[in-house]
Structure 1
Amino acid sequence: MRNSLQLQSFELVARDIAEADIASLHALSLGVGWPHRPKDWEQLLQTGPGIVAVDGIGRVFGSAMWFPHGDDFATIGMVITTPRAQAQGNGRWLMDQVLGRCKGRYLSLNATHAAHALYLSLDFRDEAVVYQCQGEAALTLPPLPPLDGELAPISAGMLGDIADLDARAFGVDRGDLLDIITRKADIVVLKRDGKLAGYSCCRDFGRGKVIGPIVASSDRDAVHLAAIHLQKLKGEFVRVDTREKDGLFADFLAQCRLGVYGTVTTMSKGRPFLNRKPAEPWIYGLAAHGWG
Structure 2
Amino acid sequence: MQRSVRLKSFELVARDIDDVDVKLLHALSISVRWPHRPKDWELLRRAGRGIVAVDGIGRVFGSAMWFPHGNDFATIGLVITTPRTQAQGGGRWLMDLVLKECGDRSLTLNATHAAYPLYVSLGFTAEATVYLRQGEVLQTLPVPNLDGELKALSSDRLKEIAALDTRAFGTNRERLLALLSEDASIYTLSRSGEIVGYSMCREFGGGFVIGPIVARDELDAIHLTAVHLKNLIGRFVRVDSREKDGAFAEFLQKSGLDIAESVTTMSKGRRFLNREHNEPWVYGLASHAFS
Bin for the TM-score computed over the shorter chain: over 0.9
Task: Please give the residue correspondences for 1:119-130 in structure 2 after superposition, counting only pairs within 5 Å.
Answer: 119-130=119-130
Deviation at 1:164, TM superposition (A): 1.4
Q: Distance in 1 between matches of 2:108 and 2:281?
A: 16
SS in 1 for 2:27: helix
Structure 1: unaligned runs, 5 residues or longer: none
Contact 2:155-2:182 at 8 Å conserved across structures: no
Which whole-Å CA distance do the structure 2 matches of 1:233 and 1:45 have between them? 28
1:164 aligns with 2:131: no
- The equivalent residue for 1:194 is 193
1:258 aligned partner, one-letter code: L
SS of match in other structure, 2:35:
coil
- Look up the match of 1:7: 7
Change (3 A) 1:156 1:258: closer
Measured in 2, the distance between the counterparts of 1:44 and 1:239 equals 18
Aligned positions of 1:18-33 closer than 5 A: 18-33=18-33
Q: Specify the code of the residue in structure 2 equivalent to 1:290.
A: A
Residues 104-147 of structure 1, C-alpha deviations (whole Å, 9 max, x = no match) = 101000000010000000010000000000000011111x2221
Gaps of 5+ in 2: none
Amino acid at match of 2:144: P
Please name the residue that 1:181 is paired with. 180
Offset of residue 157 of structure 1: 4.8
Match of 1:116 in 2: 116
Tell whether 2:40 aligns with 1:37.
no
Q: 2:61 aligns to what?
A: 61
Q: CA deviation digits over 1:189-231, x for unaligned, max 9?
A: 1111101110000100011000000000000000000001111
**TM-score, normalised on structure 1?**
0.98
Moved more, 159-168 or 61-70: 159-168
Which residue in the other structure is 2:239 paired with?
Answer: 240
Tell me by how many angstroms 1:266 deviates: 0.2
Deviation readout 1:133-188 (Å, 9 max, x if unpaired): 0000011111x222121001004753012121111100000000000011110101
> Whole-Å Cα distance in 1 between the matches of residues 58 and 45 of structure 2?
19
Query: Whole-Å Cα distance in 2 between the matches of residues 288 and 164 of structure 1?
Result: 20
Alignment of 1:243-262 (within 5 A): 243-262=242-261
Residue aligning to 2:287: 288
Q: For the residues of structure 2 that align with 1:79 and 1:156, how far apart are their CA atoms? A: 30
For normalisation by structure 2, the TM-score amounts to 0.99
Q: Which residue of 2 aligns with 1:107?
A: 107
Fraction of identical pairs, as percent = 63
**What SS does structure 2 have at the residue aligned with 1:114?**
coil
Q: Is the 8 A contact 2:154 2:186 kept in 1?
A: no
**Comparing 2-11 with 60-69, which one deviates more in the overlay?**
2-11
Using a 3 Å threshold, how does the CA distance of structure 1 residues 156 and 259 change in structure 2: closer, same or farther? closer
Tell me the residue number matched to 1:279: 278
Partner of 1:203: 202
Separation in 1, partners of 2:21, 2:155 = 35
* Residue identity in the other structure for 2:104: G
**Distance across 1 between alignment mates of 2:264 and 2:276:** 20
Which amino acid is 1:97 matched to?
Answer: L
Secondary structure at 1:139 match in 2: coil
User: In structure 2, what is the Cα distance between the partners aligned to 1:157 and 1:141?
Assistant: 30
Aligned to 1:221: 220
Q: Is the 8 A contact 2:188 2:199 kept in 1?
A: yes
Residue in structure 1 matched with residue 92 of structure 2 by the alignment? 92
Change in Cα spacing, 1:58 to 1:122, as seen in structure 2 (3 Å) is same
SS in 2 for 1:254: helix
Ranges of 4+ aligned residues in structure 1 off by more than 2 Å: 155-158
For residues 31 and 129 of structure 1, what CA distance do their matches in structure 2 show? 25
Contact 2:106 2:268 in 1 (8 A): yes
Q: Using the alignment, how far apart are the partners of 2:229 and 2:109 within structure 1?
A: 28
